[in-house]
Amino acid sequence: MSQAKTLRSDDLKIVMAHVATRRHAVRDRAIVLASFLSGMRAHELASLKLGDVIGDGERIRDEIMLDASQTKGRHARRVFVNGKLKKELGSYIKSVCAGWQPYEPLFRSQKRRGFNANTMCQLFLSIYAACGIKGASSHSGRRTFITNLASKSVSVRVLAALAGHASIATTQKYIDVNDAQLRNAVELA
């Protein structure tokens, strides 16, 4: 099985333009950007509860603590939330989650239930298919997140910690190389 496609910034703009036209545009925008800005897996996004994301005073947390049941490897891990993602999650919560309890799913399907890993993957696939982006999957945001940070010279050890990988060899498989990176590299010589 081939790896999920790493999206370029132009691809992401197409995705975001399409998401803006969808019935659940605010929710879908938050889901897609959470994937691209945090590197969380579809299963992790589906498992999030409102209380995982907001803390005291209804503020977006700096870190999301995923317990072992929420992760692929069954090891608890921290997901760091940058300023862009804080803003996005804050807008989503303010416009969609009013009156929800901390134990309720952060992202709900159109049936008003939380997503499961499969339905979250299907959401991503339907968005990418509608945009005509071949080879993209729910893992594309994660691969793009890791690749973008690698292209900014973030060390592979840091990338592994952010991705929740036990081995840097696993993380290295996520890093996509493109022509711009190759051109920039030879200019260093």
Predicted pLDDT of residue 179:
82
Q: Indicate the number of domains in the chain.
A: 2
**CA 174, CA 41: separation in Å to the nearest integer?**
13
Indicate if 26 and 77 belong to the same structural domain.
yes
**Number of H-type helices and E-type strands within the chain:** 10, 2
**CA 118, CA 46: separation in Å to the nearest integer?**
9
Which among 131, 153, 171 is the end of a domain? 131
Quote the strand ranges of the chain, DSSP E: 63-66, 77-80
182 inside domain: yes
Query: Rg of the chain over CA atoms, in angstroms?
Result: 17
Predicted pLDDT of residue 94:
94
Indicate if 90 and 170 belong to the same structural domain.
no
Which among 83, 105, 131 is the end of a domain? 131
- Complete DSSP assignment for 109-152: -TTSSB--HHHHHHHHHHHHHHHT-TT--TTHHHHHHHHHHHHT
Better pLDDT: 140 or 153? 140
Percent of the chain with pLDDT over 90: 78
Indicate if 90 and 71 belong to the same structural domain.
yes
2 inside domain: no
Structural domain for 44, as ranges: 9-131
Taking only the tens place, the pLDDT of each residue in 51-88 is 999 988 789 999 999 999 999 888 899 999 999 999 99
Angle at 110 between CA 104 and CA 116, to 5 degrees: 60
Indicate if 78 and 151 belong to the same structural domain.
no
Taking only the tens place, the pLDDT of each residue in 79-116 is 999 999 999 999 999 999 988 999 999 999 988 899 99
Taking only the tens place, the pLDDT of each residue in 110-148 is 888 999 999 999 999 999 999 999 999 999 999 999 999
Indicate if 121 and 84 belong to the same structural domain.
yes
Indicate if 100 and 161 belong to the same structural domain.
no
Mean pLDDT of the 15-43 span: 97
Predicted pLDDT of residue 178:
78
Indicate if 105 and 168 belong to the same structural domain.
no
Which among 131, 156, 173 is the end of a domain? 131
Mean pLDDT of the 30-49 span: 97
Q: How many residues does the chain have?
A: 189
pLDDT band at 1 (very low <50, low <70, confident <90, very high): low
The yes-or-no verdict on residue 12 having pLDDT over 90 is: yes
3 inside domain: no
Indicate if 39 and 120 belong to the same structural domain.
yes
Nearest to 71 by CA among 53, 88, 48: 48
Mean pLDDT of the 152-179 span: 90
**Residue-averaged pLDDT of the chain:** 93
**CA 12, CA 124: separation in Å to the nearest integer?**
12
